[in-house]
Amino acid sequence: MSWLVTGGAGYIGAHVVRAFAAKGIDTVVVDDLSSGRRGFVADGTPFVQGSILDGRLLESTLERYDVRGVVHLAGFKYAGVSVQRPLHTYQQNVTGTSTLLAAMESKDVSRIVFSSSAAVYGTPDVDLVTESTPKHPESPYGESKLIGEWLLADQGRAAGLAHTSLRYFNVVGSGTPEIFDPSPHNLFPLVFDALLDGRTPRINGDDYPTPDGTCVRDYIHVADLAEAHVAAAQRLDAGESIEPVYNLGSGDGVSVGEIMRTVADVTGIEFAPEIAPRRAGDPARIVASGELAARDLDWRMRHTLAEMVRTAWEARRAAA
């Protein structure tokens, strides 16, 4: 028996697959490679190229690989771009999730760990976000992730689906030099690409209502995130009680300005970032408590900010 990882050829998904392997748990990957990379899939891991919108493909994969649970990471993940592409975002993230749940029901697969997002909160009016903080998503991406959580909850009530949703905050770093974040929109890749090209990095906005005017975020290491997925899957496998949602956050806010200074220290490249306009859909601050995840999923911050930057930089340079 195995666990299906949708989006398992992506930056986060590939780390999740490796975390399962470290625990001796077999996985199979479904990915359409729209943003993932075939080379990110670990050797020996079954790989099926295809879309989560293809219900028949999902059903055959669930059956062929005797899947007992799903980690669902596939989807369109760019909050800023989703403002310009709302229909595409809803198709990938809402229709895709619904199609996956239907395939699971048809094959009696009743466990799922869902990749949600801090974007469901929008701009919180509290210093520390908890799972009960009101949800006010400010982009189609955030809205689509909240709808995904609703779909799981409704399917849980209707069909007994055992589920949990993990609300990610800013995921950075690398757990292995072979996997880097190739996103054309995320902060770390944009900064690293600029440095490698001899350009000055740019940041989006310095006029937010924060101490240094730059966005404040909760940065977490991708390897820590991957471990939490495995812990959630094991809890579902064991039939243990589990919360419907967990924040995966550090409880500490780090500004984009602080990130820039840490990048300069780690890389040894001195620079003063250029300031670009704000991106649509970006909240000023979002920092979360990870107390529930610490209680149930052994969640903790195992990496410092400098280690997050260093591992990400080493992986990006290895791919250059």
Q: What confidence tens digit (pLDDT) does each residue in 163-179 have? A: 999 999 889 999 999 99
44/68 same-domain check: yes
142/209 same-domain check: no
Looking at the 3D structure of the chain, how many domains does it have? Answer: 2
pLDDT of 116: 98
pTM: 0.94
Range 65-68 contact pairs with CB under 8 angstroms and sequence separation of 24 or more: 65/2, 65/4, 65/28, 66/1, 66/2, 67/1, 67/2, 67/3, 67/4, 67/28, 67/107, 67/109, 68/1, 68/2, 68/3, 68/109, 68/111, 68/237
227/91 same-domain check: yes
pLDDT of 237: 97
pLDDT tens-digit profile of 215-254?
898 999 999 999 999 999 999 999 999 999 999 999 988 9
pLDDT of 314: 97
Evaluate whether residue 260 is within a structural domain.
Answer: yes
Q: Give the CATH number, domain containing residue 210.
A: 3.90.25.10
Mean pLDDT of 283-308: 94
101/225 same-domain check: yes
pLDDT tens-digit profile of 48-84?
999 999 999 999 999 999 999 999 999 999 888 999 9
Evaluate whether residue 309 is within a structural domain.
Answer: yes
277/161 same-domain check: no
Evaluate whether residue 64 is within a structural domain.
Answer: yes
197/150 same-domain check: no
110/162 same-domain check: yes
Cβ–Cβ < 8 Å for 159, 233: no
Evaluate whether residue 276 is within a structural domain.
Answer: yes
Cβ–Cβ < 8 Å for 266, 308: no
Statement: residue 276 has pLDDT above 70? yes
Instruction: Give the residue numbers spanning the domain of 206.
Output: 172-217+250-287+302-319
CA 271 – CA 284 distance, rounded (Å) = 23
Statement: residue 281 has pLDDT above 80? no
17/85 same-domain check: yes
Residues annotated as catalytic are 141
Evaluate whether residue 41 is within a structural domain.
Answer: yes
